[in-house]
Structure formats: C-alpha cells, structure tokens
Amino acid sequence: MRRNQIRFIVILGTFAIIGIFIIQIYWLQKAWNISEKEFTQTVYIALRNVAVKLSDYNQTELPDENPVSRLSSNYFVVNTNSVIDANILDYYLRTEFDKLNITTDYEYGIYDCHTDQMVYGNYITAGGEHDKQIKLTTTLPKYSEYVYYFGVNFPTKTNYLSGDMSLWFIFSGILLVSVIFYAWAIFIILRQKRLSELQKDFINNMTHEFKTPISSINISADVILSPDILQQPERLRNYGAIIKQENTRLNHQVEKVLQIARIERNGFGLKPEPLQLNDIIDLVVNNCKTGNGARISIEKRLDADISEIKADKLHLTNIIHNLLDNAIKYSTDTPYITISTQKTHHHIIFSISDKGPGIPKEYQKKVFQKFYRIPTGNVHDVKGFGLGLYYVKNICEAHRWDISLESLPGHGAVFTIQIPASSWINK
C-alpha cells in the first residue's frame, strides 16, 4: 500500500471518528437533558401533590402561584402556608414519590420561623426506608420568600439519572472500543509499512555491501583462470590474496547479521568478568589503527583511577569497536576521534566523539533502531546494515548501562555510556 493511500485512510478515518464522537456526545447530552427535565417535572408534580394534601390536612388554602420552587438542580422548597407536622410530611412524601416512581435517595428539612432554622431533617433511602441516624449531606438552604415551608434535596440525583441512561453508556462504551480497535489497526498498518520500508532498505544495503566483494572475487577468478597466469606467480598470489580478503569481508558481514538473529532468538548470554575498561579501549584502538593505517587520528583521555568493572569482555569489545567504526565511517575528512573515560561518585563515564558531519536532531533517537540508517537519498557512500548502534544499545541495556547521543549538524557526534557503581568491582 502506498504512503499516500495510507495517509488518506488515516485522515478519512480520523475525521469519521471525530464526527461520530461529536454526534454521540450531542445525543448523549440531549438524552441527559431530557432525563433531567422529566425528573424535575415529576418532582414538581409529586411535591405539589404533597402541598395539596398538607393543605387539606391543615384545612388551609394554598397560594394561587405554584407552591414549589427550585433553588438548584437538586434542591426544591415547597410553600405550605401552614404549620407542618413532621410525621405527616414524611408519610405524604413517601406516598407520592412511590406513586410517581421516584426511586432515589432524598433528604428533607422543615423550616421553623421562630428559630429561623431548618429544625428537622431526615434521610430516606431509595427503598423508602428511614435511616436510623439523621445524616443530612448539607445544611439545607433557607428561602426568604416563604414563612411555612419544607425543603427536599436529592443528593444522588446524578447517579439516579445515570442509571436510567445505562443503555446510552453501553453504546458509548461500544463506540470507544471500536475507536480503540481502529487506532490499533492503524498502528499495525503504519508499523507494517515501516517494517516493509526497513526491509527494503536492508535488502538494498545488503546488495551494495555484497556487490563490491563479489565483483572483486569474480574479476580475480577470471584472472586466475586465464591460461598464462601460471607464468606470473606474483600476480597469482596478489589475486589469490584479494579473493581471500573479500571472502573474509563477506563472512564478516554475514556473521554480523547472523549474530543479531542469534541474540534476538536466544538472548545475549552475558558472561560478566572483572575487566579494566582502559585496557580494553587500548586494545581496540591499537587494532583499529593497525587495520586503518595512519589515516586516522585517535586521542585518548583515560582516567587512570577507573575502577574495574564487571562486564562481558566480547560484547564490551564489540561496543567500543562499533562506536569507533561508526566515527571513522561517518568522518568526511581525516577522522579525528577522542576517547575519554572519567570516574564520578556514581558513574564511570565513557565517551567517543568525532569531528564528522553530525546527526540532525530528528534522527538522533532513531539511529539506535534496528536497520535504521540516516537518509542519504540514493547515495550509498557509507557501508553498513544499520545494525551497529542497535547492537550497542541492546548490549548496554543488558548490562544496565545508559547510552546517550549528543550531536549538532556540522560539529560531530558524542556517544556517552554511563556505567553505574553497581557494575564496579573496586569502589
């Protein structure tokens, strides 16, 4: 699938999801408003019926206007225009609420004009039972417009309405699961696309890596098979040496790929032993200078007080070799590399810096990914499969070391490994 097609699918799907969410939220809010309005109207009817019954019981007349006032979304006051008997009020409230199927907790209080307080209160559960203890959730507010009145509060109104809208919430949950599945599917598609591109880049890199030695071996073989080559033993030895050298190079490249495959399949299998980091650095640097001749310059700034560390000798050697090899490969002119070690209170800091072109910030985290190579267009002037830094990072993590990269374009790169005190032998 092409990149533009994937981008179109992602954008279209995103807009579709946003539209569905907006519609769902709109209808959910509308359903909530309808439920709340229905509840409020039912409460109005029930409380008005209670006021009428109290008026009949006290043989008084109610005012012409509606005796029920809503002071907040949960709190209502009812004007009775006469003294209220608490027991009678309790009975009428339960009767009317049961009749109109108002099955939520409520609490009520009766205003006493002599003390200017809500002097009586009780909490009734959803089943209509009295709580043994008075546990008003708040001090019910007073209302200055009435003289004889009672107040009713519904502290669990939100939960009550939510229960009535359970079907809406189930549909919303199904929608959310569908969105999560869609996002997961898009993630898998993008990941597969990325892996496909990495695979393509890896095959291209491998083709370039193998093309040169295979061509050299082929040319050398043609020369060796020529009839008059036996008359030129020196030339025969030279071409035989070329075949041997290029064959070793091919084996090295193949072994590098197979090594990563073995590590991912079987793990690293570390064999820690006491090592002197400075000695390992000296050994790798000497081998590197021998292999590259005098064309590189390596400056060592090694702290003589470095403690012995517990590490796998083979993998530690490979780490240093890979970082040095990278610094050499990516240097445009004569490579100038600085290797330093420093001991602090809590870490041994090992760093390798170069004077190369540097690494742009957007690529710095990606260089440690498997097969990743900094894009250079169609130019293939740097050898490798993109496995070196991936290997280095994984070995550092297996040792519980931290590796970081600092770089500015045009000012080289610095790879730093921090070895914690837990890996030291002599602290």
Average pLDDT over residues 164-189: 78
With 70 as the cut, is the pLDDT of residue 69 above it? Answer: yes
3-state SS, one letter per residue, for 330-394: CCCCCCEEEEEEEECCCEEEEEEEECCCCCCHHHCCHHHCCCCCCCCCCCCCCCCCCCHHHHHHH
The full DSSP string for 198-213 is HHHHHHHHHHHHHHHH
DSSP label at residue 424 = B
pLDDT, residue 378, reads: 47
Per-residue pLDDT band at 358 (split at 50, 70, 90): confident
Average pLDDT over residues 388-394: 84
Residue where a domain stops, chosen among 164, 188, 210: 164
Count of structural domains, the chain: 3
Which is more confident, 193 or 141?
Answer: 141
pLDDT, residue 76, reads: 93
Among 142-156, 179-193, 325-339, which range has the highest average pLDDT? 142-156
Residue among 255, 319, 336, 331 nearest 284 (CA): 319
DSSP label at residue 130 = B
Determine contact, residues 265/258, Cβ cutoff 8 Å: no
pLDDT, residue 132, reads: 43
pLDDT, residue 417, reads: 93
Query: Looking at the structure, do residues 240 and 370 belong to the same domain, yes or no?
Result: no
Query: Looking at the structure, do residues 262 and 321 belong to the same domain, yes or no?
Result: no
Query: Please, what is the average pLDDT of the chain?
Result: 80
Query: Looking at the structure, do residues 102 and 125 belong to the same domain, yes or no?
Result: yes
Query: Looking at the structure, do residues 149 and 55 belong to the same domain, yes or no?
Result: yes
412 three-state secondary structure: coil
Query: Looking at the structure, do residues 312 and 361 belong to the same domain, yes or no?
Result: yes
Among 121-135, 155-169, 200-214, 395-409, which range has the highest average pLDDT? 395-409
DSSP label at residue 153 = E
Query: Looking at the structure, do residues 310 and 203 belong to the same domain, yes or no?
Result: no
With 90 as the cut, is the pLDDT of residue 219 above it? Answer: no
% residues pLDDT > 70 (the chain):
83
pLDDT, residue 45, reads: 92
As a whole number of angstroms, the distance between CA 50 and CA 124 comes to 16
pLDDT, residue 259, reads: 67
With 90 as the cut, is the pLDDT of residue 210 above it? Answer: no
The per-residue pLDDT for range 329-350, each reduced to its tens digit, is: 777 677 888 999 998 888 899 9
Whole-model pTM: value is 0.50
Query: Looking at the structure, do residues 305 and 376 belong to the same domain, yes or no?
Result: yes
The per-residue pLDDT for range 188-209, each reduced to its tens digit, is: 877 777 777 767 766 766 666 6
- For the ranges 23-32, 89-98, 249-258, 406-415, the lowest mean pLDDT is seen at 249-258
pLDDT, residue 349, reads: 92
Query: Looking at the structure, do residues 155 and 18 belong to the same domain, yes or no?
Result: yes
pLDDT, residue 50, reads: 92
The per-residue pLDDT for range 84-138, each reduced to its tens digit, is: 888 899 899 999 998 998 888 888 888 888 788 887 678 888 765 555 444 555 5
Could you tell me the CATH number of the domain that includes residue 176?
Answer: 1.10.287.130
Helices 388-398 and 233-266 cross at an angle (nearest 10°) of 40
Per-residue pLDDT band at 266 (split at 50, 70, 90): low
Query: Looking at the structure, do residues 179 and 96 belong to the same domain, yes or no?
Result: no
Residue among 35, 39, 309 nearest 169 (CA): 35
Residue where a domain stops, chosen among 125, 145, 164: 164
pLDDT, residue 177, reads: 84
pLDDT, residue 17, reads: 79
Per-residue pLDDT band at 305 (split at 50, 70, 90): confident
pLDDT, residue 161, reads: 79
With 70 as the cut, is the pLDDT of residue 400 above it? Answer: yes
Average pLDDT over residues 358-363: 82
CA–centroid distance for 362 within its chain: 18
Which is more confident, 351 or 81?
Answer: 351
pLDDT, residue 415, reads: 92
As a whole number of angstroms, the distance between CA 350 and CA 344 comes to 11
Query: Looking at the structure, do residues 131 and 260 belong to the same domain, yes or no?
Result: no
Neighbours of 200 (CB within 10 A): 11
Name residue 177's amino acid.
Answer: V
Which residue segment(s) compose the domain that 302 sits in? 272-423
pLDDT, residue 379, reads: 45
Average pLDDT over residues 278-292: 80
Query: Looking at the structure, do residues 181 and 201 belong to the same domain, yes or no?
Result: yes
As a whole number of angstroms, the distance between CA 222 and CA 216 comes to 10
Per-residue pLDDT band at 426 (split at 50, 70, 90): low
- List the beta bridge partners of residue 24: none
Per-residue pLDDT band at 388 (split at 50, 70, 90): confident
pLDDT, residue 204, reads: 66
Residue where a domain stops, chosen among 266, 282, 307: 266
Query: Looking at the structure, do residues 196 and 318 belong to the same domain, yes or no?
Result: no
With 80 as the cut, is the pLDDT of residue 3 above it? Answer: no
Which is more confident, 200 or 307?
Answer: 307
